[in-house]
A and B are shown apart, each in its own frame.
Chain A
Amino acid sequence: MTNPKQSLPREVADRSGSAGRGGEPTGPSETTGDPHQGALAHAAEGHTAAKSAGTPAEHADLSAKSAGTPAEYADLSAESTGTPAKPADTLTQKAGLHMPYPPKDAAIVLSHIIFAFAALLLGGVAGLLQGLVRGGMVELPAGIGYYQLLTAHGVLMALVFTTFFIIGFLYSGIANTLGGKLLPATRRFAWFGFVLMASGTVLGTIMILLNKATVLYTFYAPMQASVLFYIALVLLVVGSWSSGFGMIYQYRYWRRKHQGQLSPLFAFMSIVTMLMWLIATIGVAATVILQFIPWSLGWVDTINVMISRTLFWYFGHPLVYFWLLPAYICWYVVIPKIIGGKIFSDALARLSFILLLLFSIPVGFHHQLMEPGISPLWKYIQVVLTFMVVIPSLMTAFSLFATFEISGREKGAKGLFGWLKYLPWKDVRFFAPFMGMLIFIPAGAGGLINASHQMNGVIHNTLWVTGHFHLTVATSVALTFFGITYWLIPVITNRVLTPAMNRLGIIQTVIWLVGMFFMSGSMHTAGLFGSPRRTAYTTYNDHPDAVLWMPYHVAMAIGGTILFVAVILMVYNIFAMMRMPKGDTPYPIGEVSDQAEPTPKLLEKWWIWIVLVVVLILFAYTIPVLEMLGQSGPGSPPWVTW
């Protein structure tokens, strides 16, 4: 057992920080400068504070700027000049010389992460009970419904755990790569977002527990939940917008200060992720605010069901990429550092993210292939657009394995696959995300089946689909997030991952994989035999087909129980990590390979990509939505069928 810290070089790699300074301040809002930037340049070279103090020109510049700080940035400049004798304050922190992670940023990141895992625990309890009920092993005590648990499981896992974790993780990396800490305004955006999202979660969970919102996390009309459930969803989404705006604010600020420079890869990828999220959530916000809320308040009598479903799936598919992209950020940017290698190509990494941005949104119809009211031509067009994500996925697979192979060969690996031996299998920060990557291969192949016209008819709304997203989001994404947690908590709490905790992390990952093998494997198989998803225990009057599914449902329950053990261990590990010894853990950000080609500036010209996304969305949706509106009847009155 090697201490995972040993494989971590001490320098911090904000490569862009080493380039020249940006334009001089031009207005009051720009007068603070970036107090950490000069320092970072040296941090990347692993220099000490003493050394960097020897670049007086830069630091003079820095303090001059800090002195002119407007009130808004008072606390930032106060922190950065709190020890005036040592302008390289943040340098020492960045280089891991026993300086604390900025406590205000740590509070933001930690709050999101802990909230996420609390949701995972509650959602895990619901999941365990569901598995046992469906396997015919237990009956719920009076008052709790299977579908209530199913709603809680979906909302807490798919919407709450993911969104909170992602925002916490992205903020940590934004802080690290865009100046070393969050700007005061960014922090305000982050906290405002957190409070809205947390209130939305609490309100939504209460409504679900009161059985006022047993509509599942897809809340399909014309089932009508309490208006408070829809308001809870609005709070969750609007809160996430605030967090997205905070990241964009800090990114724009950094770029103004570093004109002509390439932004750090982590930050670029975070902005793509949040941009996609902002564009995608317009759909769910539109259906909830314009359709569901007026209807559930009784202001209108009916709801257009097909429009609401179409708006939901306009959001619903990019939602899955919103889960995936942060995992890709870990794979592209963090994993190379952890294995002691280099990022294969900055340009290709950015290109694959831009392609994912373009082809994530105009594809929702592949969830609606079995529905009336959409012409076959438009279904096919969106299927073609869906399949385009194969290209960035293949690029990603190539880049990651190129990084693994090159780094192995640099360490002396021989033969075609000798480099495999040089990967740090016993380091949970690598092992958990790597297992996520591996599972993504069959998971992605299953996705191609789901998105195909004819094959979708075999598996639509069967347990196969449940099995599919328990591989994608609940394994590829979840294991990557767990792997991130094992270094992110030490980073932000100024602790070091102990070998014992590392071992627990590996054990937790293996338990998760074993549980998922049983659960997702059985779901896929039972689904192919026709067993429907989202259905409580039933044998359909002992119909022979349904009786045949039962052994698989039992295996699902066993797998779910094993997974629950892994959830408990994960939650325990988080508490235990808070008590690990103090020390410095650098934020692992990979460096780009020396052989990589320079990145074309075009990739950071956002207006081009935003216009292209909008054009693709309008192309894919305008005509079918007009057709839907043109042929729709009077709409549906509300129903409460639970």
Chain B
Amino acid sequence: MHIHRLEKIWIVVGIAMLGVFLVVVGVGAFAMGMQPPGSHHDHAHHTGAIDPEKVDETPPFDNPRLEQVGDKEYNAYMVGYAFGFSPDKMEIPVGSTVHFQITSSDVVHGFQIPGTNVNMMVVPGEVNYLSHTFTEPGEYLILCNEYCGIGHEYMATTIIVS
């Protein structure tokens, strides 16, 4: 099939750009560790699956908490529910890295901290993971960004970085 010379140039340049995009995304993800959330899934001590009806008796979510695990390093074991997050209000010193681990005890929720790249789905029956280092002080808003019911817009908490 004959293709016009200009169209060939156009498509080759387009495919080359596409290649560059995909290499940038791929190198970012696999070489630099900028994976989407959930990527620790296979390596974590959890199996990934959790009985959504038994969240309150399954460690570590039976005791949702912020736990210091190193110098300026924390694990946040969290549960999303209609319509809130547990634990409510967390406080950390500036420069801390927090490893968020979250599941839902009812419907699907979202977990987003505006002004950061923290954004993940909270799915019942699954545990999602994401780490973030808070380099600026402030009161960060944590909100649910997936419709979860009549009180969805009230589902939020904060994390204070001081």
Contact = CB atoms under 8 A, between A and B. Distances in A.
A453 interface: yes
A501 interface: no
B47 A373 contact: no
B68 to A, nearest CB: 24
B121 A371 contact: yes
Interface in B41-77: 41-42, 47-53
Nearest to A458: B117
A278 B82 CA distance: 36
B141 A543 contact: yes
B25 to A, nearest CB: 5
A191 B14 CA distance: 43
Given A380-B29, A380-B30, A529-B114, A372 B147 contact: no
A398 B7 CA distance: 7
B145 A305 contact: no
A600 B152 contact: no
B49 A535 contact: no
Nearest to B106: A639
Contacts of A387: 18, 21-22
B36 A395 contact: no
Contacts of A379: 36
Interface in A437-467: 448, 452-454, 456-458, 460-462
A583 interface: no
B37 A147 contact: no
Contact of B36 (A370, A546, A634): A370
Contact of A631 (B47, B115, B117): B47
B42 A375 contact: yes
Interface in A548-600: 597, 600
A642 B150 contact: yes
A376 B152 CA distance: 29
Interface stretch (A87-95, A215-223, A242-250, A324-332): A215-223
A534 interface: yes
Contacts, number: 221
Contact of A458 (B10, B25, B30, B119): B119
B86 to A, nearest CB: 17
A637 B104 CA distance: 12
Given A145-B150, A641-B148, A532 B143 contact: yes
A454 B25 contact: yes
Given A347-B1, A380-B29, A636 B124 contact: yes
B123 interface: yes
Contacts of B49: 631-633
Interface string B1-34: 1111011001100110110011001101110001
A216 B147 contact: yes
Nearest to B111: A370
A216 B152 CA distance: 13
Contact of A641 (B4, B107, B143): B107
18 contacts: A150-B147, A220-B147, A305-B124, A371-B126, A372-B121, A372-B126, A372-B128, A373-B123, A374-B38, A453-B34, A453-B36, A454-B29, A454-B36, A457-B117, A461-B119, A532-B145, A597-B1, A641-B106
The 7 closest A-B pairs by CB, nearest first: A530-B114, A641-B149, A532-B145, A633-B49, A372-B38, A538-B153, A461-B145
Interface of B: 1-4, 6-7, 10-11, 14-15, 17-18, 21-22, 25-26, 28-30, 34-39, 41-42, 47-53, 82-83, 106-108, 110, 112, 114-115, 117-121, 123-129, 139, 141, 143-154, 156, 158
Given A462-B112, A637-B52, 16 more contacts: A370-B36, A371-B38, A371-B121, A372-B128, A375-B42, A380-B30, A391-B15, A453-B29, A454-B28, A454-B34, A454-B36, A461-B112, A536-B152, A536-B153, A600-B1, A641-B150
